[in-house]
Amino acid sequence: MAVSDYQMIKAWDEVLKLSKVERGQTVSILCGPHTHPQTLQTATIAAQAAGAIVTRIELQPINAEKATSRDLMSYLGATPLTNNPAALAAMKNSDLVLDLMLLLFSPEQMEILESGTKILLAVEPPEVLVRAVPTEADRKRVLDASKLLKKAKRMHVTSPAGTDVTFQLGEFPVITEYGFCEEPGRWDHWPSGFLFTFANEGGSDGTIVIDRGDILLPQKNYVSDKITMNLSGGFVRSIEGDVDAALLREFMEAYKDPEAYAIAHIGWGMQPRCYWHTLSLMDREATTGQDARSFEGNFLFSLGPNNEAGGSRTTPCHLDIPLRNCTVALDGSVVVRDGKVIDEAFQ
C-alpha cells in the first residue's frame, strides 16, 4: 500500500527525535541514483523541520563490473566513498549521516564513526519504514538481551530440520540494532530489531540445515529444498543438497575467495513488526530484506566479512541467512525456543 508524504515525514520526525537531532546540528544525507525519491525528500524536510543544517551528498554507484546482481549487498568492500576525500570529510564533520545509499563493511564507514559521527542506514521502501518505526521499547528489549549475550562463552543452536551447531564466543563485541542512533559514533539500520556477535576465529563447528522456507540473502529467495552446511574450524566445509545448494555453491565460488566461507555474525531477531512472509509480497529489487533479518525469533547467521566488528576479513561476498524454528541457547540458557523469543531469559 502506498505511503503518503505526511506519514513518511511523521516517521522521520520520530526517528530523528529518537536519534537526538537538535537545532543547529549538521545532518548529511548520503544518496545515489537508486535512492527512493520519497524517502530522500521526506528525510530532507524532516531534518530541516528539526532545525538541522542539511546537506545532500549524491555519489555514483561502483562495482557494476564485479557484482552478479543489482542488489546493494551483492558486492561489498570498495564503495563510492573510496578515494573520495571531499565526501568523506563532509560526513566526518556531520553530527548525523542519513545513509540512503548503503555504505557497509568499508573502512570509510569505520573512519566516519570513529570521528563521532552517527550513521543511520535507511534503504527499505517507505512502506516498510512506516510499518517498523522504532521505539524506545525496541531499544530496551534488544539491550536487555544483549547483556546476556555479552556474558556468554558458547552459543548452541538446534532445529527440527537437523541444525546442531556450536559457536565459541568472546573475541568480538556484541552489536545491537534497534533503528536509531542516540549516541555519538553509533551506527544503526531502520528498520531493524536484532542483536548479534561474531563467533571466535575457528570456533564454529557442527551442522546447519537451511530448511524449506528459510531465506537466503542477498538472493532474497525462500529455499525450496534443504541445504546442509557442514562446519569445522570456523568455516563451511561443504554445502550439500539439490538445486538450491548448487545455486548457493556457484554464487559463492564466483567470488574466488576462500574467506567467503567463514562464519561471520550470529544472533537472533526481535522485531515483532517485521515478518517472515513479507519478502514474498515485494519486488526483490525494492528491498534489502530487513524484514527477513529482523523478524522475531529467527536465528540469523552470516558468512563472509567480520571487519564490521573489528576483524580482519574484508571479503566482498556476504550472505545473511535467517532460519526459522530454531532453539538458541547461551551457556545452556535458552533465549529462543522453537523460533519464539524467551523474554524471561533476559530479566
DSSP strand pairing (96-99 vs 118-121): parallel
Q: Which of 35, 54, 48 is nearest to 97 (CA)?
A: 54
In contact, 15 and 180? CB cutoff 8 Å: yes
Would the pLDDT of 20 be above 90? yes
Would the pLDDT of 14 be above 80? yes
Report the share of the chain in percent with pLDDT over 70.
95
pLDDT at position 75 is: 62
Would the pLDDT of 19 be above 70? yes
Grid cell 525496541 in the structure block, residue: 138
Burial 3-20 (b: 16+ CB within 10 A, else e): beeebbbebbbbbbebbe
What pLDDT, in 10s, does the model give residues 152-183?
999 999 999 999 999 999 999 999 999 999 99
In contact, 265 and 233? CB cutoff 8 Å: no
pLDDT at position 81 is: 86
DSSP strand pairing (194-198 vs 204-210): unpaired
Domain spans, the chain: 5-131, 136-346
Neighbours of 277 (CB within 10 A): 11
What pLDDT, in 10s, does the model give residues 44-58?
999 999 999 999 999
pLDDT at position 72 is: 63
pLDDT at position 78 is: 73
Distance CA 118, CA 192 (A): 16
DSSP code at position 345: G
What pLDDT, in 10s, does the model give residues 275-329?
999 999 999 889 999 999 999 999 999 999 887 777 777 888 999 999 999 999 9
DSSP code at position 238: E
Distance CA 95, CA 90 (A): 10
What predicted TM-score, i.e. pTM, was given to this entire model?
A: 0.94
pLDDT at position 310 is: 77
State which fold the 5-131 domain adopts.
Rossmann fold (3.40.50)
